[in-house]
C-alpha cells in the first residue's frame, strides 16, 4: 500500500462515502493547486480540511470570511510597539500550510483579492515588505451557493486561481448512518494517524511533476481545451493557464493511480473539477457533453 | 398505383425523400470528412462546352484526315477525364468542422465559423484543396452566398453568413460545399449537415430610454459598513478588530482611531416582461432586447425578469449578452 | 498605387453594372492575351496585313485596359470592329469561306472576343476557341516542329483554364503552369490509347483544303528553265518505303506528268481544248477506280519487281508519282492512258498510297490515232535547223528508231554539250538555239530537244516529268526532294510500245547515278540560292548527321503517327489479331483500356495505401472497428481503458483480449517506453488486433 493510498484510506475514515472527492482533494494538493469547495454548510468541508491537514501532518488555520473582514485580518498587520517604538509584524492566519477560507464569497472583493494574490504568488506584501508563505501552501476555500444576498461573487478571473472546484454533496444513507453512530466524522479526527510530514509531501509533489504525458495525450488535452473555446457551449473558453492546470491535475491523478504516465481517462477524471468553475455554459453546453464529444484518439 | 405515382411526382414528397436519403448518407455531425459517400460530381456547362469543342475538333480530324487534330480531340477527352478525378480529389478528404457562431438579432445575418482543412496528420503534400466554395446558398449575394476558401492542406477558418428570421436557436440547413477547380469542367459538391447552431436574439426595435418607475434620479445609495471607499476616522471601540486600527496614527498621536469605509450601490433597474409594451410576446421580447442593448452602453445596472426566470442586476456587455440569451430562449409564460 | 486604386474603382463600377458575373483575375487576363498571340502565330503567314493591324490594335487595347486605363469598347465600336474585320477578310480572299479565309475570320473573332471579355464565362469561351485555333494551324502543317509547338500551346491553354480558377490574390503564374503541366501529363496515357484504338472513319463530308497553289513543285507545263528553278529547293517531295529490294538509281524514275503539247517554247500536258483537237474524250484518257480501264491488260500479281508505299507531301496537284508505268489504280485515284496515277482531288494534305511495281513497261499493243496525233504535234513553223537535222536522220535510218535515238544521244555525248544549272537564257527558236548554239542546258532542255527531233523525224514521242533518284535511307526508305525533279523522254517503238530514254544520262551520267549534287559539283551551283537549307551542308559531317537523324525522326513521325488512318489501323490490328473483325477488336480493346484507366485513376485519387495514422493507432482503430462490428462501438469520448472495462462488463468473453490489446496500445501510445521494446510491442499489438 503506497503512501498516497494510506492517506486516502485515512481520510475516508473521517469522511466516508466520498472517495472521489477525497481523491480530487488530495490530487489538488499534490498538483500544488488550491481547492474550492462549493456546498451548503454542514456537509463536512471543515472536517475534510481538518482531516487532510492531520494525515499529511500540515499545520492549518481557519478563517471565517465576513463582509467586514479586512485584508489585514488575513495577511497580518504591523503593530506599533510602544515599548520598543518599532512596528512589529503580526502575521495573519494566512501564514500557515493549510488555510481553510470559509464562505469566501462573504468578504468584500478587496479582501478576496488579497487572499487570492497570496495564493497565486506564494508570498504576501504588507507595508511594502514581501514575506514568503510557508511551503507547502494549500488553500481550501468554501463557497455557499445558496442564500446569495449580501455576498460578493468571486470574479471569474479570481476563480481561475483555484485549481479545482468540487462539491461534497449529501452523504449516502450508509455513510450518514455510520456518521450518526459516531464511527466517522469529526469525532474520529483526533484519532487519525499522521502519515507524513511536509518534506514527504514535497517529494510526492516532485514525483508528480515527473509523470509523463505523451504527444497523443497532449493532443487530446489541447483538443479538449480548444473545444471549450468554439461553438456556443460556453461564454468563453479555457485559458492557457487552465490548460496547464488541467495537465498538472491529470498528472497528479495518474500518480494517485500508481502510474508514471497520463491516460486520457485521467484528464477526463479531473476535467469537470478543473474546468467546471472556469466555464460559464451557454446554449445547454455542459462539461460532460464536451467530454463525450471530443474524440480521445483524434482520428477524426 | 396511381396515388403512388403522384406521390413520387409531388415535389414535396420528392424533396422529403431526397432529404431522408441525404440524412442516411451524410448524417449530422460536428465534423465531417468528405469521402466517396458524401461527394457528388457532374460536368458543368463549361464541361459540356469543352466536350462539344472536342467533338468539333474530332470532326475536323476526320474530314481533313489530320492525325494531330485527332490527337488534340483525344487530348481534350483525356483531359476531361483527368478533370473528373482531380475535381473530385480536390474535395475528397477535406474536413469541415463546425465552430462557433456569432449571435445576432433576428433579421440580421448570423455569422458562423466553419473550419475547412485537410485531414489530420495527413502524409505528404496535398494537391488541391483550392477554390472550395462553402456556404448556405440563398439569393442574397451575387455568388449565391458561397465563400471561397483555399485551404491547400492547411486548416482555414471561414466565416459564413446565414439569414435569420425568428429568435431562438437557429440551425442552418445543410451546408453546400462545392468546387470546380482545377479546370472548371466538373463540379464536385456535397450537402454537409454540420451540427452547428447559433442563438438568434429578438429583433431590435427603436425604443425610448428606459427608467424604472420608482427611480430617484441618478444618485447613489450609500451602504454603511461596506469596504469600498474610505469614509473617515472614528474613535476605537473595544469590539473593533486590530486590523481596523490605524496604527500609524497611534504611533504619531497616541490616539487609537479606526478607519471607516462605506460601499456604493446604484439604483437597480428591472426590466420586466410583465410590464413590457408590445402587441404580442415577440414584440415585448424585442422591446426588452432593445432596452438591454441600449442600457449596456450606459453605466446602468439592470436586472431582467421573465416570469420565473430572473437575472440578477449587473452591468456591461457580458451581462447584456446573458440577458439577450435568456430572451432568445424564452419559451413563453409558463401556464 | 494609383493603378491599383483605379483598378479597384473599376472593379467596383463593374460590380455595379454586372453583379452576377465572376470577374477574371488580372493574371488570367494577361495569360489570355499571351495565349492568343501564341496560338495565332502559326497562322501568321495567312493573315492579310489589315488583319495584322487589327489584331495588334485589339491586343494593345486589351493590355491598356488591364492597366486600368481607358474604357471598354461600347457596342457601336464593337460592331464597327466586327464589320472591319470581316471586310478585311473579304478584301483579301474575296470570300469568308475556304480554309484560309475561314482561319483568318476565326483569328479575328477570337481577337475581338478577347476585347469584349468581362466574365469568367467569356474567358472560358476564349480558351475553348484557343483549342480550335491551334487545330486550324495543324491543317497547314503537321511537322515535328509544329507538334512541339502544339504541345506548348496545349499546356499553356490548360494552364490558363487552371489560372481562371486560381484565387484572385494569386499573381504568380508558376502554380497554374505547374498544375497545367501536371494535368496535361496525366491526360497523355488516355490520349494515346484513344488515338490508337478509336476506330478511324473516312471523311464525312467534303471540306475546303489548304491552298497549295503557291508551293514549289512540278507543274503541268515546262519551259526550258523551269525545272532548274525547282532544283533550287531542298523541300521534301515524298518518301517511298520499299519492302524488299530498293531499285538502283538508274531505275528510279518516278513518273508524274506527261507532256504532249509544244507551242515553240513550252511543253504542256494540254487542256480539254487541245485534246478535242485530236478528237478524244476524257473517258479515253483516264479511268477512275474501281472501273477497269479498257486499255489495261489483266494484272498478273506474280510479276512484281518492287513493292513500295509512298507518303506524298501536299503538292496542290493531283499527280501521284509512281515508279515506272503502272497499270492499276487504287481507291480515290484514276489510271491515265499513259500509265500514270492521278488523284481525284488535288493533294492538299499528306497522302499515302502503295503500289506494286510490276515488270510492266507500258507495252501498249497499239497506238490510237488520237494519241499518235498528240505525240507528233509540233508547231507549224520554227526551229528550222532542228527540223532539217531530224529529216536528215529520218531519211538515213527510216524505221530503225532505236538507231536514230542512239545517234542523237551519241551526238549529245560526243559534242561539247554541258549539263548545267545555270543555262543561258534562250529566246526565239529555243530548240535551235540550244542544240546548235549554246549547248548548255538542264534536263528540260535535253528532253525537250530530243522530243522535238524525234517528232520532226516522225516518231511519236512525249516529255515525261517527275523525279529521278532520291536519297536512300535505312530500312528501304527513299527520300525524294524537289531538286530531284527531272524530265525525260518516251518514244513509240512499234511492236514494243513506249520506250523510256533519258538524254541527260548521255550528257551527265552522274546525274542519274549519283544525283544532282554530283552532276553540278564542279559548277558549285547546287542549292546556291538556299543558304540555310541543311541539305546544302551535307558535306559537313555533324550537320549531316543531325540532318539525317532529324529526317529519320520526321519520317518515322509521318509513317507512324500522321499516316495512321483507317487503313493503317486496319492493317495494324489485322496483324495483331489475325482472323478477327477489326472493328470488334478495337471496340473491345477500347472498353477494356478505358475501364482500366478509370480504375487506375480511382485507385490513384483515393490512395488507400496512404496511411493517415501512426501504426499503433491504426491497429487500435482496427480493433475498435472489429468491436464495432460485434455491436460494441467505442464512443468518441471514451478512453481506451474505459472502453476495455466496458467490453469486459458487457461481453466478458472478449474482456481478456480487449484488456491485452488496450494494455499494449497504452504502452505504445501513452507510456514511457524504451525504443528497443517498442517494435516488439507493436508487432504484438498487430497480431492481437488483426486476428
Across A55-81, average pLDDT: 84
Q: Is C361 helix (H, G, I), strand (E, B) or coil?
A: coil
Q: How many whole angstroms separate alpha carbon C301 and alpha carbon B40?
A: 63
Is residue A300 predicted with pLDDT exceeding 50? no
How far apart are alpha carbons C358 and B18 in whole angstroms?
75
Cβ–Cβ under 8 Å, residues B200 and B102 = no
Q: Is the pLDDT of residue A26 over 60?
A: yes
- Is C642 one of the catalytic residues? no
DSSP state of B245: B
Per-residue DSSP letter, C497 = E
Q: What is the mean pLDDT of residues A4-20?
A: 85
Partner-chain contact A67 B243, CB within 8 Å = no
Does A3-68+94-201 carry CATH code 3.40.50.300? yes
User: Residue B277: CB partners within 8 Å, gap ≥ 6?
Assistant: B283, B284, B287
Chain A interface, Cβ < 8 Å to B: 67-68, 70-73, 77-80, 87, 90, 108, 110-111, 229-232, 235, 282-283, 293, 298-300
Region of residue B31 (left: phi > 0; alpha: psi -120 to 50; beta: else)? beta
Q: In the prediction, which pLDDT does C10 show?
A: 40
CA distance to partner chain C, nearest, from residue A262 (Å): 7
CA gap A209, A218 in Å, rounded? 15
What is the number of other CB atoms lying within 10 angstroms of the CB of residue C605? 19
Q: Which residues of C touch B78 (CB under 8 A)?
A: 187-191, 194
Determine the Cα–Cα distance for residues C134 and C111; give it in Å rounded to an integer: 14
- B11 vs A: CB within 8 A: no
- C352 in B contact zone (CB under 8 Å): no
pLDDT of residue A174: 85
Segment C545-600, tens digit of pLDDT: 887 788 888 888 887 888 888 888 888 888 888 888 888 999 999 999 999 999 99
By Cβ distance, the residue of B57, B67, B77 closest to C142 is: B67
Task: Please judge whether B198 and A87 are an interchain contact, meaning their C-beta atoms are less than 8 angstroms apart.
Answer: no
Q: Looking at chain C, which subunits does it touch, using at least 3 CB pairs closer than 8 Å as the criterion?
A: A, B
CA nearest to B93, candidates B167, B17, B188: B188
* pLDDT tens column, C306-355: 888 888 888 888 889 988 788 778 888 888 888 888 888 888 777 888 88
Q: Residues C412-435: pLDDT tens digits?
A: 888 888 888 778 888 788 888 888
The pLDDT of B61-70, averaged and rounded, is 89
Closest CA to A21 of A150, A161, A172: A172
Check C153, C484, C486, C624 and give the catalytic one: C486
Q: Give the pLDDT of residue C532.
A: 64
In this complex, which of A73, A232, A300 lies closest to B243 when CB atoms are compared? A73
Q: How confident is the model at residue A247 (pLDDT cuts 50, 70, 90)?
A: very high
Is C40 catalytic? The answer is no
3-state secondary structure C259-310: ECEECCCCEECCCHHHHHHCCCCHHHHEEECCCCCCCCCCCCCCCEEEEEEE
Q: Measured between CB atoms, which of C135, C167, C204 is closest to B62?
A: C204
3-state percent helix, strand, coil for chain A, nearest multiple of 5: 45, 15, 40
DSSP state of C628: H
User: Is the pLDDT score of C11 beyond 60?
Assistant: no
Q: Which chain B residues are closer than 8 Å to C146 by Cβ? A: 68
Which residues in chain C touch residue B145, judged by CB atoms under 8 angstroms apart?
none
**Overall CATH class of domain A211-293:** mainly alpha
Put simply, the answer to whether C621 touches A263 (Cβ < 8 Å) is no
Per CB-CB distance under 8 Å, the chain A contacts of C636 are 292-296, 300
Å between B241 CA and nearest CA of chain C:
53
Query: Domain map of chain A by residue range?
Result: 3-68+94-201, 211-293
Ordered DSSP codes for B191-209: EE-B---EEEEPPP---PP
Strongest mean pLDDT among C270-284, C314-328, C440-454: C440-454
Q: Is A299 on the interface with C (CB under 8 A)?
A: yes
CB of C120 within 8 A of CB of C162? Answer: no
Instruction: State the Rg of chain A over Cα.
Output: 20
Interchain proximity B241–A111, CB inside 8 Å: no
Confidence bin at C70 (pLDDT 50/70/90): low
Q: Do C23 and C165 meet the contact criterion of CB atoms below 8 Å apart?
A: no
Beta strands in chain A (DSSP E): 35-38, 60-64, 76-81, 86-91, 98-102, 123-126, 129-132, 138-143, 164-166
C575 labelled catalytic: no
The nearest alpha carbon in chain B to A70 belongs to: B243
Interface B–C counts its CB contacts (< 8 A) at: 163
- Residues on chain A touching B325 (C-beta within 8 angstroms): 282-283
Per-residue pLDDT at B6: 47
Q: Is B263 on the interface with A (CB under 8 A)?
A: yes
Q: Which residues of B touch A282 (CB under 8 A)?
A: 199, 325
What's the first-to-final CA gap in chain A, in angstroms?
Answer: 41
Active-site annotation holder among C40, C226, C338, C443 = C443
Q: What is the pLDDT of residue B57?
A: 93
CB contact under 8 A, A296 and C620: no
**Which tens digit of pLDDT belongs to each residue from A155-207?**
777 788 899 998 888 888 888 888 888 777 777 777 888 888 888 888 999 99
Give me the mean pLDDT over the B8-23 stretch.
Answer: 73
pLDDT reported for residue A248: 93
Using CA coordinates, name the residue in chain C closest to B79. C187
Portion of chain B with pLDDT greater than 70, in percent: 79
B325 at the A interface (CB within 8 A)? yes
Q: Which three cell numbers stand for residue A109?
A: 472583493
Chain-chain contact of B227 with A68 (C-beta, under 8 angstroms)? yes
Query: What confidence tier does B143 reach under pLDDT thresholds 50, 70, 90?
Result: low
Which H, E and C letters describe C369-384, residue by residue? HHHHHHHCCCCCCCCH
- Convert the pLDDT of each residue in B213-252 to its tens digit: 444 444 444 444 445 556 667 777 777 766 677 777 777 7
Retrieve residue C464's grid coordinates.
515525261
pLDDT mean over C174-194: 91
Helix (H) or strand (E) holding B101: strand B94-102
Catalytic, out of C338, C348, C484, C502: C502
CB under 8 Å, gap of 24 or more: what pairs does C149-156 form? C149/C42, C150/B68, C150/B72, C152/C38, C153/C35, C153/C38, C153/C39, C154/B72, C154/B75, C154/C184, C155/C180, C155/C181, C155/C184, C156/C31, C156/C34, C156/C35, C156/C38, C156/C180
What is the least distance, in Å, from the CA of A170 to any CA of chain C?
27
C-alpha C64: how far from chain center: 38
Task: Please give the grid coordinates belonging to residue C544.
Answer: 549531316
What integer pLDDT is reported at residue A244 of this predicted model?
Answer: 92
Residue count (chain A): 300
Mutate to test the interface with C, among B57, B145, B184 (most CBs of C within 10 A): B184
For the residues C446-454, what does the mean pLDDT come to? 91
Which of C124, C150, C207, C613 is best to mutate for the B interface (most B CBs within 10 A)?
Answer: C124
pTM: 0.70
Contact B197 A283 (CB under 8 A): yes
Amino acid at each position: 500500500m503506497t503512501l498516497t493510498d494510506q492517506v486516502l484510506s485515512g481520510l475516508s475514515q473521517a469522511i466516508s462515502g466520498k472517495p472521489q472527492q477525497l481523491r480530487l482533494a488530495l490530487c489538488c494538493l499534490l498538483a500544488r493547486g488550491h481547492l474550492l469547495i462549493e456546498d451548503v454548510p454542514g456537509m463536512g468541508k471543515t472536517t475534510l480540511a481538518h482531516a487532510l491537514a492531520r494525515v499529511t501532518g500540515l499545520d492549518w488555520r481557519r478563517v471565517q470570511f465576513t463582509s467586514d473582514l479586512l485584508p489585514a485580518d488575513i495577511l497580518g498587520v504591523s503593530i506599533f510597539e510602544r515599548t520598543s517604538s518599532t512596528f512589529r509584524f503580526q502575521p495573519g492566519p494566512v501564514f500557515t500550510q493549510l488555510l481553510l477560507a470559509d464562505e469566501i464569497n462573504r468578504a468584500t472583493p478587496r479582501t478576496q483579492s488579497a487572499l487570492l494574490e497570496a495564493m497565486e504568488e506564494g508570498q504576501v506584501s504588507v507595508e511594502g515588505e514581501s514575506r514568503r508563505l510557508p511551503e507547502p501552501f494549500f488553500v481550501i476555500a468554501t463557497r455557499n451557493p445558496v442564500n446569495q444576498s449580501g455576498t460578493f461573487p468571486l470574479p471569474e478571473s479570481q476563480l481561475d486561481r483555484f485549481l479545482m472546484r468540487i462539491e461534497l454533496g449529501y452523504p449516502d444513507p450508509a455513510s450518514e448512518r455510520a456518521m450518526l453512530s459516531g464511527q466517522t466524522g469529526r469525532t474520529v479526527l483526533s484519532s487519525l494517524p499522521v502519515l507524513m510530514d511536509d518534506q514527504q509531501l514535497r517529494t510526492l509533489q516532485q514525483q508528480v511533476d515527473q509523470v509523463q504525458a505523451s504527444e497523443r495525450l497532449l493532443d487530446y488535452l489541447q483538443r479538449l481545451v480548444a473545444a471549450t473555446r468554439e461553438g456556443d457551449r460556453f461564454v468563453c473558453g479555457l485559458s492557457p493557464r487552465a490548460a496547464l492546470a488541467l495537465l498538472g491535475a491529470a498528472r497528479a491523478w495518474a500518480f494517485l493511480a500508481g502510474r508514471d504516465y497520463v491516460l486520457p481517462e485521467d484528464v477526463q477524471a479531473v476535467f469537470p473539477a478543473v474546468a467546471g468553475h472556469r466555464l460559464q455554459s451557454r446554449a445547454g453546453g455542459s462539461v460532460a457533453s464536451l467530454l463525450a464529444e471530443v474524440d480521445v484518439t483524434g482520428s477524426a | 398505383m396511381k396515388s403512388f405515382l403522384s406521390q413520387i411526382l409531388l415535389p414535396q414528397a420528392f424533396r422529403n425523400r431526397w432529404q431522408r436519403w441525404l440524412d442516411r448518407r451524410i448524417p449530422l455531425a460536428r465534423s465531417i470528412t468528405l469521402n466517396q459517400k458524401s461527394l457528388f460530381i457532374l460536368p458543368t456547362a463549361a464541361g459540356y462546352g469543352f466536350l462539344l469543342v472536342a467533338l468539333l475538333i474530332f470532326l475536323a480530324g476526320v474530314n481533313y484526315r489530320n492525325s494531330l487534330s485527332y490527337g488534340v480531340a483525344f487530348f481534350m477527352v483525356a483531359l476531361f477525364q483527368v478533370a473528373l478525378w482531380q475535381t473530385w480529389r480536390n474535395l475528397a478528404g477535406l474536413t469541415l468542422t463546425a465552430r462557433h457562431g456569432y449571435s445576432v438579432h433576428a433579421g440580421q445575418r448570423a455569422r458562423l465559423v466553419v473550419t475547412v482543412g485537410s485531414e489530420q496528420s495527413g502524409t505528404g503534400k496535398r494537391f488541391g484543396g483550392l477554390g472550395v466554395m462553402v456556404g448556405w446558398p440563398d439569393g442574397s449575394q451575387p455568388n449565391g452566398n458561397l465563400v471561397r476558401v483555399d485551404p491547400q492542406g492547411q486548416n482555414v477558418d471561414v466565416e459564413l453568413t446565414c439569414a435569420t428570421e425568428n429568435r431562438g436557436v437557429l440551425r442552418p440547413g445543410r451546408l453546400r460545399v462545392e468546387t470546380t477547380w482545377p479546370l472548371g469542367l466538373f463540379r464536385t459538391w456535397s450537402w454537409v449537415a454540420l451540427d452547428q447552431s447559433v442563438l438568434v436574439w429578438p429583433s431590435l426595435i427603436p425604443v425610448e430610454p428606459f427608467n424604472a418607475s420608482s427611480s430617484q434620479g441618478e444618485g447613489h445609495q450609500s451602504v454603511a459598513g461596506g469596504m469600498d471607499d474610505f469614509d473617515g476616522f472614528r474613535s476605537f471601540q473595544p469590539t473593533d478588530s486590530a486590523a481596523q486600527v490605524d496604527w500609524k496614527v497611534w504611533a504619531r498621536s497616541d490616539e487609537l482611531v479606526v478607519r471607516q469605509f462605506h460601499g456604493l450601490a446604484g439604483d437597480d433597474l428591472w426590466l420586466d416582461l410583465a410590464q413590457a409594451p408590445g402587441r404580442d410576446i415577440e414584440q415585448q421580447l424585442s422591446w426588452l432586447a432593445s432596452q438591454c442593448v441600449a442600457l449596456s452602453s450606459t453605466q446602468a445596472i439592470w436586472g431582467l425578469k421573465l416570469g420565473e426566470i430572473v437575472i440578477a442586476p449587473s452591468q456591461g456587455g457580458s451581462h447584456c449578452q446573458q440577458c439577450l440569451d435568456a430572451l432568445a430562449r424564452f419559451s413563453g409564460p409558463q401556464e | 498605387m494609383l493603378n491599383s486604386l483605379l483598378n479597384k474603382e473599376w472593379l467596383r463600377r463593374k460590380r455595379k453594372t454586372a453583379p452576377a458575373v465572376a470577374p477574371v483575375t488580372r493574371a488570367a487576363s494577361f495569360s489570355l492575351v499571351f495565349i492568343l498571340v501564341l496560338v495565332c502565330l502559326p497562322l501568321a503567314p495567312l493573315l492579310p496585313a489589315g488583319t495584322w493591324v487589327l489584331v495588334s490594335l485589339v491586343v494593345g487595347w486589351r493590355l491598356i485596359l488591364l492597366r486600368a486605363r481607358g474604357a471598354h469598347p461600347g457596342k457601336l465600336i464593337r460592331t464597327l470592329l466586327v464589320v472591319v474585320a470581316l471586310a478585311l477578310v473579304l478584301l483579301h480572299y474575296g470570300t469568308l469561306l475556304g480554309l484560309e479565309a475561314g482561319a483568318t475570320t476565326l483569328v479575328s473573332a477570337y481577337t475581338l472576343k478577347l476585347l469584349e471579355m468581362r466574365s469568367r464565362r467569356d474567358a472560358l469561351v476564349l480558351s475553348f476557341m484557343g483549342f480550335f485555333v491551334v487545330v486550324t494551324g495543324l491543317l497547314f502543317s503537321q511537322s515535328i516542329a509544329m507538334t512541339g509547338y502544339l504541345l506548348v500551346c496545349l499546356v499553356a491553354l490548360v494552364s490558363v483554364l487552371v489560372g481562371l480558377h486560381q484565387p484572385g490574390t494569386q499573381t504568380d503564374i508558376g502554380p497554374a503552369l505547374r498544375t497545367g503541366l501536371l494535368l496535361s501529363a496525366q491526360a497523355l496515357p488516355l490520349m494515346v490509347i484513344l488515338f490508337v484504338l478509336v476506330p478511324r472513319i473516312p471523311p464525312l463530308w467534303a471540306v475546303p483544303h489548304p491552298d497549295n497553289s503557291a508551293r514549289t513543285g512540278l507543274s503541268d507545263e515546262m519551259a526550258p528553265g523551269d525545272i532548274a528553278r525547282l532544283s533550287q529547293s531542298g523541300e521534301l517531295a515524298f518518301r517511298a518505303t520499299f519492302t524488299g529490294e530498293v531499285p538502283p538509281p538508274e531505275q528510279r524514275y518516278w513518273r508524274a506528268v506527261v507532256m504532249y503539247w509544244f507551242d515553240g517554247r513550252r511543253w504542256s500536258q494540254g487542256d480539254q481544248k487541245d485534246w478535242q483537237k485530236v478528237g478524244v474524250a476524257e473517258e479515253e484518257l483516264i479511268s477512275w477506280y474501281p472501273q477497269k480501264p479498257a486499255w489495261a491488260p489483266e494484272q498478273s500479281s506474280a510479276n512484281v519487281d518492287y513493292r513500295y508505299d509512298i507518303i506524298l507531301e501536299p503538292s496542290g496537284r493531283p499527280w501521284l508519282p509512281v515508279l515506272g508505268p503502272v497499270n492499276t489504280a487504287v481507291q480515290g485515284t484514276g489510271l491515265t492512258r499513259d500509265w500514270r496515277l492521278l488523284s481525284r482531288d488535288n493533294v492538299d494534305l499528306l497522302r499515302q498510297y502503295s503500289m506494286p511495281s510490276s515488270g510492266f513497261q507500258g507495252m501498249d499493243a497499239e497506238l490510237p490515232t488520237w494519241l499518235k496525233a498528240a505525240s507528233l504535234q509540233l508547231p507549224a513553223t520554227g526551229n528550222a535547223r532542228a527540223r532539217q537535222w531530224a529529216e536528215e536522220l529520218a531519211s538515213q535510218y527510216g524505221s530503225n528508231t532505236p538507231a536514230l535515238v542512239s545517234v542523237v544521244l551519241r551526238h549529245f555525248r560526243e559534242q561539247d554539250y554541258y549539263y548545267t544549272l545555270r543555262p543561258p537564257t534562250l529566246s526565239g527558236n529555243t530548240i535551235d538555239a540550244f542544240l546548235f548554239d549554246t549547248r548548255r542546258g538542264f534536263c528540260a532542255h535535253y528532253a525537250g530537244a530530243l522530243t522535238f527531233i524525234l517528232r520532226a523525224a516522225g516518231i511519236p514521242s512525249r516529255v515525261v516529268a517527275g523525279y529521278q533518284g532520291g536519297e536512300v535511307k535505312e530500312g528501304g526508305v527513299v527520300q525524294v526532294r524537289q531538286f530531284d525533279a527531272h524530265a525525260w523522254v518516251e518514244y513509240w517503238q512499234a511492236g514494243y510500245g513506249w520506250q523510256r530514254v533519258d538524254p541527260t544520262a548521255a550528257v551527265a551520267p552522274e546525274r542519274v547515278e549519283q544525283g544532282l549534287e554530283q552532276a553540278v559539283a564542279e559548277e558549285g551551283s547546287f542549292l546556291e540560292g538556299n543558304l540555310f537549307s541543311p541539305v546544302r551542308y551535307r558535306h559537313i559531317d555533324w550537320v549531316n548527321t543531325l540532318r539525317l537523324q532529324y529526317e529519320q525522326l520526321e519520317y518515322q513521325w509521318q509513317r507512324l503517327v500522321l499516316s495512321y488512318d483507317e487503313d493503317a489501323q486496319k492493317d495494324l490490328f489485322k496483324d495483331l489479331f489475325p482472323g478477327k473483325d477489326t472493328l470488334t477488336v478495337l471496340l473491345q480493346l477500347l472498353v477494356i483500356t478505358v475501364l482500366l484507366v478509370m480504375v487506375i485513376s480511382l485507385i490513384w485519387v483515393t490512395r488507400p495505401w496512404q496511411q493517415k495514422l501512426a501504426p499503433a493507432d491504426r491497429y487500435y482503430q482496427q480493433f475498435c472497428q472489429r468491436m464495432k462490428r460485434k455491436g460494441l462501438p467505442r464512443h468518441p469520448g471514451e478512453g481506451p481503458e474505459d472502453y476495455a472495462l466496458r467490453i469486459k462488463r458487457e461481453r466478458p468473453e472478449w474482456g481478456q483480449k480487449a484488456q491485452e490489446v488496450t494494455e499494449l496500445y497504452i504502452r505504445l501510445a501513452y507510456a514511457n517506453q524504451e525504443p528497443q521494446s517498442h517494435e516488439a510491442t507493436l508487432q504484438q499489438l498487430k497480431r492481437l488486433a488483426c486476428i
